[in-house]
Structure 1
């Protein structure tokens, strides 16, 4: 098979106890038939408009030839690389598809001015830009498009020769793109962003970059019959039960790549599950871990381990261990995890298709961009790091180490730490090492997200899921800012507003927040790491 799963321990018990009921209720065949009643009456209206992903393989087939033809046309115009402006599902799926295929794709899911400038300065004349946005109004993507349009004109290139748009039919972006003469691919409006890997959002940038997207669809198609059958061996039912039905439930899902050929898959799964399930005070929190992660030796009772491996074996129930093991092709993995996530939504009693708390951070950001108040003064400055935070965290702290200690003291026995890094991840990749350092101190799961990318991923869970987390925001003073054409704010102001807006929403929800601003990022990271020693 193109997908295999093996379960043991608590996950195996959950599968044995839950899958028979899912079969009796005809859940698998109901999902395939796009039955909106599976998640309850309150969800039915939205579910009726959000199940198109079950037919993505069939619907997307005609796109393959169009994308291949456009790729050849772009190459004839001197295009040698593809950049992607998109957020959330619009960027995470193409990123894992191209990385797994070993194909270059510049993914611009950032608003840090340094990271945007890096994309602009990387062979602009030989680059085509794919602009992906379902709504067409995403502030990050709109800003990225504007700055690329200006940059193309500045070097004498008509943007219509270089910009390709992927959006829903009838969106504001579609109207403006067609007026500007851009090539437009309409996506299926019945597919939510995080379920769109096998639609135009995943396929257009990946195919233009050089991936064999026909083969990717073949991989997904090969597992489709098994997912449609109400059977004990249905991998979507088994995986959904394993991640959501343990008793007591394990609401942190550690995802470890352990020998798989798929690159970066856990980041895609993180967005799919966190944004789909983290609401109404419940949910499943994916925690992306490396093989040496401290959490894996802590025997945490609320952490369920998933290993993405080269071969999960042929037996469904493993005799030893306490984990979930999955293997398979990338296309099959996409489809199985989508089925499993909506099955988990049914088991949790939530709507797996909405994201009610994502909008709150966007509203706060827009408010700050409109008003642009003076920055909140730092509570204190430690070796060039400005320290701010909610009152219970800052308290009597007078140095960096005591501020971090105060944040961790707010962490309960079932909590987690969320690190949110609003910095240029190309210039400061070493900052990600803070995740393991905090996990050693906290002895609890730690998530790490690059901002504002994570706002379209775990951001929903942080505000809508259980109120058990503490939040460490890390910002950096940019070395150079960048204007956004026809907008009254710069990229530097935008990323600052996004961080401040999210911090304010978290504080309103009663979440403890510590914000550290690195005024000299490279030097300050060493200082920060010493405070965690």
Structure 2
């Protein structure tokens, strides 16, 4: 699509216009255009944190370097790209590939498989294409537990195919920052390196090497992406006719307490044809950029927002009929411009909310990963330390830090969880499972039962991407963490990680246990349900949640 615009109406428009006037009087557009970090205090003197504004132009030089790598990879028969990354590093590349697929562009493309969490199906898919595979490991810091596991598994699989150590090294590309721990590790291993600016915030790097390199290797047209972003860039220095300023005013203005004492700090994102990687990328951008100091913007998807919630503001992304949507706001722009538009708006919303959007936030996400690593080390080759369930029904274990009353059943447990959701809060469902079962199937019933929005995602990718808003934001979430034994026939779940005393299933459970401990340490209502049979248990759990929703309607 051509062009870009932000359309809004009603009380949202009134709120946005007041917020925009405040932004202009505060000199925000001009200061951003000048890349003046003092907008967020005199101590924020790092101009590099605003380098993302230059990426539509600066990243053009990157493409010529990547083109040479693409040509070499295709010459070697490598057209299947495996991207190992958790969070922002993978979501932008996924969004680029999804947009490429929808456009149906006639250009030679490869495949992109993302490994970012607990589902073994993508790994199985990738291992079947090993002879065509180039592995990209993307991280601004070090390699995650999953990244280490997947790297070891691929290196071992290449070795079994008879590749030499030099040939194996040629099958890996590392995208990281100059001087990062992963930089040094990659050099020691002899891997190819793509280095980025260490001062660029990771959640503002969609148009950097993190978002572009994996997608270009898989065949995406990044030049058009950058052209669309560059077309938007001149308007971002204006006081008027600045769509980024208006979107930021909408987001930040609505999130502040309005008439009636209600802050619309939850954003429901809609995409044509259903939610995709763009919505997921926006969710993490808002979570990391604004989720701090007891506030922030939480992104919600339509299945978890059945009904009207006074604190939810609807945003439609490229709706087919602008102005006729149920959403309060419509954002119209091609993908490259969407990236830059939302980054700019997040910066503006952060200024309105009094937080620095470029700071990575607290250490909650890293703490949970470190705790998982500690659990794995302590367990060695034995089982992970785990609390006994307080209740078991039909193979579904309920793990809680408090006992349930005698005679309680699964519906009572779930009803207690929905009752624990604060009046201004939300329910979060995180699944550490392999297969198709998702919190998406539970979200509509949970929303009806609790009368509050529901967010969901797979672990550890979703907690990693959105952890700041849950743990350092308003603190008004209640959490259901779902784990399970490996499904029958899932041989990869027990796949030993070369050089480690655990397999993928054990790693997945350690991640979930650490996440539960992290949430409980912050006093957040948290239940874990473990499915001894994940296939049968998923069906029983879905039925129980629907029953709770039905009972709620009857009250």
SS in 1 for 2:82: strand
Q: Is 1:367 matched up with 2:374?
A: yes
Q: CA deviation at 1:26?
A: 2.2
Aligned to 1:376: 387
Report the equivalent of 2:552.
none
Residue in 1 that maps onto 2:29 = 28
State the alpha-carbon separation in 1 of the partners of residues 304 and 253 from structure 2: 25
Please give the alpha-carbon distance, in whole angstroms, between the structure 2 residues aligned to 1:505 and 1:380.
Answer: 22
| Stretch of structure 1 that moved more, 481-490 or 7-16 | 481-490
How do 1:406-445 and structure 2 match up within 5 A?
A: 406-424=416-434, 427-429=435-437, 432-445=440-453
**Contact preservation (8 Å) 2:118, 2:458:** no
Could you tell me which residue of structure 1 aligns to residue 286 of structure 2? 273
Q: Following superposition of structure 1 onto structure 2, how do residues 69-218 of structure 1 map, counting pairs within 5 Å?
A: 69-102=68-101, 104-112=111-119, 114-115=120-121, 117-157=123-163, 158-218=167-227
SS at match of 1:432: helix
The residue aligned with 2:469 is 461
Residue by residue over 1:381-424, the C-alpha shift from the partner in whole angstroms, topping out at 9 and shown as x without a partner, is 211111102327x4557322111111111112111000011112
In structure 2, the CA distance between the partners of 1:334 and 1:395, relative to structure 1 (3 Å rule), is farther
In 1, distance between residues paired with 2:18 and 2:415? 42
For the residues of structure 2 that align with 1:294 and 1:521, how far apart are their CA atoms?
Answer: 22
Contact 2:437 2:538 in 1 (8 A): no
Structure 1 322/212 Cα, relative in aligned 2: closer, same or farther at 3 Å?
closer
Report what 2:316 is aligned to. 307
Kindly indicate whether the alpha-carbon contact (under 8 Å) linking 1:389 and 1:514 is maintained by their aligned counterparts in 2: yes
Are the structure 2 counterparts of residues 161 and 88 from structure 1 closer, same or farther at C-alpha, using a change threshold of 3 Å?
same
Distance of aligned partners of 1:321 and 1:80 in 2 relative to their CA distance in 1, 3 Å threshold:
closer
Relative to the length of structure 2, the TM-score reads 0.88
Among residues 542, 550, 553, which one is paired with 1:529 in the alignment?
Answer: 542
Instruction: Name 1:325's counterpart in structure 2.
Output: 330
1:206 and 1:320 mapped to 2: Cα distance? 31
What are the Cα deviations for residues 112-171 of structure 1, in whole angstroms up to 9, with x where unaligned?
5x3464144231111111110111232222222222111111112322221111010112
3-state SS of 1:51 partner = helix
Q: What is the CA deviation profile of residues 251-295 of structure 1, one whole-angstrom value per residue up to 9, with x for unaligned ones? A: 1111111469x9431111001001211111111111122xxx463
Match in the other structure for 2:341? 336
Contact 2:295 2:474 in 1 (8 A): yes
- Consecutive unaligned residues of structure 1, counting only runs of 5 or more, are none
> Which of 252, 264, 278 is the aligned partner of 2:266?
252
CA distance in 2, matches of 1:312, 1:359: 42
SS, match of residue 175 in structure 2? strand
Q: Per the alignment, in what secondary structure is the counterpart of residue 271 of structure 1? A: helix
Cα pair 1:9 1:321 within 8 Å, conserved: no
Alpha-carbon distance between aligned partners in 2 of 1:53 and 1:452, rounded to the nearest angstrom: 27
Aligned length in residues:
517
CA offsets, 1:95-125, max 9 Å, x none?
Answer: 111011016310110145x346414423111
Separation of aligned partners in 2, 1:243 and 1:417: 21
Residues 267 and 288 in structure 1, CA contact (< 8 A), matched pair in contact too:
no
Distance 2:10 2:61 in 1: 44
Q: 1:486 to 1:29 in 2, by over 3 A?
A: farther
Is the Cα–Cα contact under 8 Å of residues 196 and 209 in structure 2 kept in the other structure?
Answer: yes
* Distance 1:321-1:280 versus aligned 2 partners, 3 A rule: same
RMSD of aligned alpha carbons: 2.2
C-alpha separation in 2, matches of 1:198 and 1:263: 18
For 1:233 and 1:451, locate their aligned partners in 2 and report how far apart those are by CA, in whole Å. 40
Looking at structure 1, the residues matched to 47 and 417 of structure 2 have their Cα atoms a distance apart, in angstroms, of 43
Aligned partner of residue 442 in structure 2, secondary structure: helix
1-structure distance, mates of 2:112, 2:350 = 33
Q: State the match for 1:223 in structure 2.
A: 232
Cα offsets for 1:310-369 (capped at 9, x unmatched): 4675xxxx7997701111100000000000001111111112122203223223223322
Larger RCO (CA under 8 A, 6+ residues apart): 1
8 Å contact 1:476–1:518 — kept in the other structure?
yes
Query: Which of 243, 252, 260 pairs up with 1:235?
Result: 243
CA distance in 2, matches of 1:233, 1:284: 24
Name the stretch that deviates more: 218-227 or 117-126: 117-126
1:404 partnered with 2:414 = yes
8 Å contact from structure 1 (residues 388, 515) kept in 2: yes
- Call closer, same or farther: CA 1:294–1:53 in 2, change over 3 Å: closer
Report what 1:350 is aligned to: 355
Q: 1:332 and 1:130 mapped to 2: Cα distance?
A: 25
In the alignment, the residues of structure 1 paired with residue 147 and residue 524 of structure 2 have an alpha-carbon distance, to the nearest angstrom, of: 28
